[in-house]
Structure 1
Amino acid sequence: MDKFDKKILTALHENARISYAELARRVNLSAPAVADRVEKLEHAGVITGYHARINPAKIGYPIQGLIELTVKHQDYYIVMEQLGTMPEILECFSVTGTSGLLLKVAVHSMPDLQALIARLMQYGDTKTSIVIDVPVPLRMPEVVETE
């Protein structure tokens, strides 16, 4: 990972729809060189996809929260399978500590949140926090040059 890869990743993180020509201009390389580097970053698993960032509130999900779910070890994989079928769960993190799982959720209303929590309680104890603001939005970690 060199300074050009770092610049490419930063530019793609800011705007994944940028053209190779514009990306090349920003990093001071030719478009074919940039395309080659992007392909290598994809094959190496550094770039795992290109996504539009969606505001859940703007598409009818104004309530977002984080739910800690404590699952018994023997039920973990069964629960993971069930969580994958729940569209309200945007992300699921397996974490250290007593909870084990941290779920990022988005719902239409407080009754919908209550219903989701009730479904999750069959798998273990829950602790819910409502997101009121995102003072640090999703960002890319600093890229460390390896060469």
Structure 2
Amino acid sequence: MDDTDRRLIALLRADARTPVAVLAARLGVSRGTVSNRLRRLEDSHVITGYSVQLRPEAEPERIRAWMGVRVEGNQTRAVIASLMGEPGVAALHDTNGRWDLLAELHAGSNSELSAVLERVRLIQGIAATETSILLATYR
């Protein structure tokens, strides 16, 4: 990846629906160059997809929470594999500090969140968890 690829990705992060012609103008390259770079970035799995981002208020009934996970010993890979298979885990991050992993949880109700937490507690290799429910998002 060169500087043009990084600038292209930055523009797409700001608005993934920006037309190729606009991207080309902002980058100072041809539309063909942008199209070729996009294809190459997609083919090499640098860009793995495009998604819709909703404001949290758009789904007021949706419960979102963060869970810190401490892993026992060297079982990180097994725990990650189990968490990636859990439908309530929307995103999973490797981190440093108090927690080994940080999981973003999504649930449709308190009872659904409770079921997600119960399933996670049963995963072998998890030493401890701490969950915080998101109450408001400011940015």
The two structures have a TM-score, normalised by structure 1, of 0.72
Q: Whole-Å Cα distance in 2 between the matches of residues 117 and 134 of structure 1? A: 22
Higher relative contact order (CA 8 A, sep 6+): 1
Distance 1:69 1:18, change over 3 A: same
The yes-or-no answer on 1:73 pairing with 2:76 is no
Alpha-carbon distance, 1:102 to partner = 0.8
Moved more, 97-106 or 18-27: 18-27
Indicate if the aligned counterparts of 1:61 and 1:106 stay in contact, CA closer than 8 A: no
Q: Aligned residue for 1:140?
A: none
Q: Show the 5 A alignment for 1:9-48.
A: 9-42=9-42, 46-48=46-48
What is the alpha-carbon distance in structure 1 between the residues aligned to residue 75 and residue 41 of structure 2? Answer: 37
Per-residue CA distance 1:9-67 (angstroms, 9 max, x = gap): 23211222223222223333221122233345446665343222245764686110100
User: Counterpart of 2:114?
Assistant: 114
- Partner-residue secondary structure (3-state), 1:135: coil
Q: Equivalent pairs: percent with the same residue? A: 27
Corresponding residue number in structure 2 for 1:103:
103
Computed over aligned residues only, the root mean square deviation of the Cα atoms, in angstroms, reads 2.6
2:135 aligned to which of 119, 124, 132: 132
The change in CA–CA distance for 1:61 and 1:87 in structure 2 (over 3 A counts) is farther
Gaps of 5+ in 2: none
For each residue in 1:65-107, what CA deviation from the matched residue of structure 2 results, as whole angstroms up to 9, or x when unmatched?
Answer: 1001112124333322221221110011121123211100111
Matched to 1:47, the amino acid is I
Letter in 1 for 2:25: R
Is the contact between residue 56 and residue 137 of structure 2 (CA under 8 Å) also seen in structure 1?
A: no
